[in-house]
Amino acid sequence: MEVSEQALAVDLSTIPLFGGMSIVILDTRMKKSKATEEKKKEEEDRSEEEEESKEEGIAVKTIPPGIVDVLRRYVKEPSPSTLLLVIARSAKECGLDGAKNVVAVKCDNPRPDQLPGLIDAAVATKGKEIAPAAVQELIRRCRSGDIGMIVSHIDRLAAYVGKRKTIAAQDVAQLVVRNVDFNTFDMLKEVSAGRTGDAIDMLRVMLDNGVQPLMILGGIASSYRRLLEAKFLFQSGVAHATIAGRLGINPEKIGGFASVVRRYSEEDLKSRHREVLKTDLLMKTTGEKGERLLENLVLRLCRPAM
């Protein structure tokens, strides 16, 4: 929602009816519009890193000069009855870089290599230690890297081990349910990138959490059908937003979808879809376990693209 400088100035000077302090939150970010998505087509040589940043769907919004002026005036003489929280890429972006009475708090998600140290530190605050294998198991079960979720699990683990000093891997396995915050297409993204171990791990997580083999197989088949259709549409020059609507994909995720499509030729996608259909037939006509058939399928799908 657009905010005028007048409205912001009023909010910042408001005195709460019952005393205390009011919090004013100003989010300077904005979602990309569909029009922007339609104008921009993916270039074939764009790096995967750029694709992932596009998936976020967040663009820096140019803050109107009037808003910046209000913010600068406020931080010079902040009201004792309000607390201003600005959500921005940086203090510089909103004209507050180096300003008096401003505290910049970096809120980036921790990198994967930072998680072990953060977990050790969080466990230490509970007067406990955690075995290296337990650290890795906890990270594996919280695939999203959500530090809030990890800390919550650490609280429970500390209580679970009682007087025991060290949290072991089996404690994590007993107490922490794997986080299934992905679907079959997320698994296929790992497949397309050649990350066989991660793809198999995601498959096992879905199976361990009660997702039926036929349901997973159906999701894989549906994903390859959509990839085939998307391949044709991309080659035909159809706008990304239009493709997203036609295939039922979140427009903010179309960049990641396109990155998977580009890794395969049309014939390669057809070949992989045939592999899925063969597995479907085996699953329905033989006594072989669906879990084993799925694992073998994922291993075959992880072969390099032709």
Q: Which amino acid is at 300?
A: R
Q: What are phi and psi of 120, to 5 degrees?
A: -55, -45
CA-wise closest residue to 283 among 275, 238, 65: 275
What does the alpha-carbon distance between residue 239 and residue 258 come to, in Å, rounded to a whole number? 12
For residue range 97-150, what is the model confidence (pLDDT) as tens digits?
777 777 777 766 677 788 899 999 999 999 999 999 999 888 877 765 677 778
Average pLDDT score, the chain: 77
The topology (CATH level 3) of 184-301 is: Zinc Finger, Delta Prime; domain 3 (1.20.272)
The domain ranges of the chain are 5-87, 112-175, 184-301
Tokens 């390099």: give the residue: 304
Region at 83 (left for phi over 0; alpha for psi -120 to 50; beta for the rest): beta
When pLDDT is cut at 50, 70 and 90, the band that residue 2 belongs to is: low
Largest CA-CA distance found in the chain, in angstroms, rounded: 76
CA-wise closest residue to 79 among 23, 28, 27: 23
For residue range 51-96, what is the model confidence (pLDDT) as tens digits?
433 333 333 345 677 777 888 888 888 777 777 777 776 667 767 7
Q: What Rg, from alpha-carbon coordinates, does the chain have?
A: 25
Q: What are phi and psi of 86, to 5 degrees?
A: -110, 125
Own/partner contacts of 41-47, CB < 8 Å, gap of 24 or more, are 41/237, 41/239, 41/240, 42/234, 42/240, 42/255, 42/258, 42/259, 42/262, 44/262, 46/259
Does residue 45 register a pLDDT over 50? no
Query: 112-175 and 184-301: same fold?
Result: no
pLDDT of residue 62: 53
The topology (CATH level 3) of 112-175 is: Helicase, Ruva Protein; domain 3 (1.10.8)
What does the alpha-carbon distance between residue 279 and residue 169 come to, in Å, rounded to a whole number? 35
